[in-house]
Structure 1
Amino acid sequence: MDRTLGGRVAVVAGATRGAGRGIAVELGAAGATVFVAGRSTRQAPSAMNRPETIEETAELVDRAGGRGIPVRVDFCVPEEVDALRDRIRSEADGRLDILVNDVWGGDPLVEWGKPFWEHDLDRSLTAWRNGVQSHLVSLHRLVPLLIARGGLLVEITDGDREDYYGSLFYDVVKASVRRLGKVLGEDLGKHGVTAVSLTPGFLRSEAMLEGFGVTEDTWRDAAKKDPHFAISETPHYVGRAVAALAGDEKVARWNGQVLSSWQLANEYGFTDVDGSRPDWGKYRVDVFENHRKDVDPEDYR
């Protein structure tokens, strides 16, 4: 069993599902204690109205070999983040080595395919609060604990470049999170903290699988509807990227950068759960920029 992170304490904000769940589980697999923080519990689902819960994620962390501690937190509410901070102080002696901000909760709120001035403003601003304000509150309340350890801070975003994503409100959220990695590197590097932004590729989340009408066992069937899905990756892939960063004694070399799962897979040598190494970046360049028609997605795994 990999115990690279044995004794380390992590907070994964937004660990209920998707990338956050994959990150929490892989940190656990490396031996970490993980505070699994999010809004969806078995007693009360969040506004996302999905079945995944923080308790379920914590159990997966335990099963992977770590220790999962579920904590119900709305990261837009400072008092709830204060309560999480107090639990870290009481249950982990105030130790915090790894902070991952993955709160999003905006997919049902973002609109596409029409001018932004025709989008519902209240829903759009809620997406901004969920995806940006939550990160700022988390940072304000939890970074002092991280500084005490000289730890790792990871901001999870979408995309490693400044291409426009086709929806103003979505784009502004993800660009803001990418920018956080840069400015936090400036602010926190002098305190011994390494801060980065990190993106997965085409993420095979629970919601994405459901949207395509497939399961993790049958996911390749979805490529019949969208050929690009053949290069998709599980949430464990970006999770292994975070675990690799957290276990790297020279992680400070990445400070302030926008990183990707495929870049770090090539750097650290980890694979996705099926043993492949999806390279969304190279695929994106060949297909969307160079307009190659003869590509086989398997060649990019």
Structure 2
Amino acid sequence: MKEAAKGGRLEGKVAVITGATSGIGEATAELFAEQGALLVLTGRNKDKGGALVERLGDCARFVAGDVREEGHIAEAIGTATATFGRLDCLFNNAGGPTPGTLEEVSPDQFRYAMDLLLGSVVFGIKHASPVMKAQGSGAIINNASVAALRTHMGEYLYSAAKAAVRQLTKVAGMDLARYGITVNSIAPGGIATPIFFGGSGRAATMDDGHVAASMAKLERNLALATPLRRTGMPRDIAHGALYLASDEGRFVNCHDLVIDAGMTAAGRTHFGDA
């Protein structure tokens, strides 16, 4: 297995990343490892998690589980402190599609959406903040969405939960600032990830040819929704997370970093052929 990278922007820093087995979480894990971070990664897919850790090397550990369960989040953070001795960054990234219209939504669907998208952030902050308070430093990053900023950019429950994440970020950032802890969110725009196929679980059921064709079509369509006529990729969000987790972002707090190629400035618009 490879050793942790030396001389990077996160050298010696310890990070926990939830939802790390695909999309934005996977891209962030890869970038953080390249920049010298020590990582504890979480996700529900043990095979993907094991493969990711094997690829990243000795700098990474994987904790399988579901972020809808508080105990899983506590386990991941406990693994970071037990293995590496500290916690410098928590990226509350895990998420997924949320079914149901307002006319048809069930109590179970509502609880699922809120537990996944909002509860995981609440309990992530709950368990990370005592460790960071004791250190006198830390960076908490929450994955929000442009769906929290404009209408018709996400499903009902998804949009509501992400708006709550954005506000929670500001409240927590104000509360934890006195301890040297920053709390920020990232609002991705049209990023080509498995969430558009119904989540990574649905994508895993598709053959390689279907995935490739669907991804190519998705990238073309997403490009048409931005003024830059460019598709966002998971690595674009990972670089935003890297900035907020590194020393360069230490003066940024209670901020929602919008990474959307100008999509929200224009609203729901078609910009012509890609």
TM range (shorter): 0.7 to 0.9
Secondary structure at the aligned position of 2:146 is classed as coil
Secondary structure at the aligned position of 1:254 is classed as coil
Find the partner of 2:52 among 45, 50, 57: 57
Find the partner of 1:101 among 92, 99, 122: 92
Q: Distance in 2 between matches of 1:60 and 1:67?
A: 10
- Shift of the 225–253 alpha-carbon distance from structure 1 to 2, 3 Å rule, reads closer
Secondary structure at the aligned position of 2:158 is classed as helix
Q: Distance in 1 between matches of 2:74 and 2:148?
A: 34
Amino acid at match of 1:61: L
- Shift of the 224–17 alpha-carbon distance from structure 1 to 2, 3 Å rule, reads closer
Q: Distance in 1 between matches of 2:270 and 2:74?
A: 51
Aligned length: 255
Q: Distance in 1 between matches of 2:93 and 2:71?
A: 19
After superposition, residues 145-156 of structure 1 pair within 5 angstroms as 145-147=131-133, 148-156=135-143
Q: Distance in 2 between matches of 1:198 and 1:30?
A: 20
Amino acid at match of 1:24: A
1:274 is matched with none
Render the CA deviation track for 1:221-277: whole Å, top value 9, x for unaligned: 44566643853211111111111222234x243200111235xxxxxxxxxxxxxxx
Secondary structure at the aligned position of 1:231 is classed as coil
Contact 2:18 2:92 in 1 (8 A): yes
TM-score, normalised relative to structure 2? 0.80
Secondary structure at the aligned position of 2:91 is classed as strand
Does structure 1 residue 89 correspond to structure 2 residue 87?
no
Q: Distance in 2 between matches of 1:16 and 1:38?
A: 6
Secondary structure at the aligned position of 2:74 is classed as helix
TM-score, normalised relative to structure 1? 0.74
Structure 2, unmatched stretches of 5+, are 198-202
- Shift of the 60–296 alpha-carbon distance from structure 1 to 2, 3 Å rule, reads farther
After superposition, residues 128-277 of structure 1 pair within 5 angstroms as 128-147=114-133, 148-159=135-146, 162-165=149-152, 167-208=155-196, 213-215=210-212, 219-222=215-218, 227-228=224-225, 231-249=230-248, 251-261=249-259
1:29 is matched with 34
1:72 is matched with 64
Contact 2:220 2:231 in 1 (8 A): no
Q: Distance in 2 between matches of 1:132 and 1:202?
A: 21
Contact 1:15 1:21 in 2 (8 A): yes
RMSD: 2.9
Contact 2:125 2:140 in 1 (8 A): no
Q: Distance in 1 between matches of 2:144 and 2:81?
A: 28
Contact 1:180 1:197 in 2 (8 A): no
Structure 1 residue 285: Cα displacement: 3.2
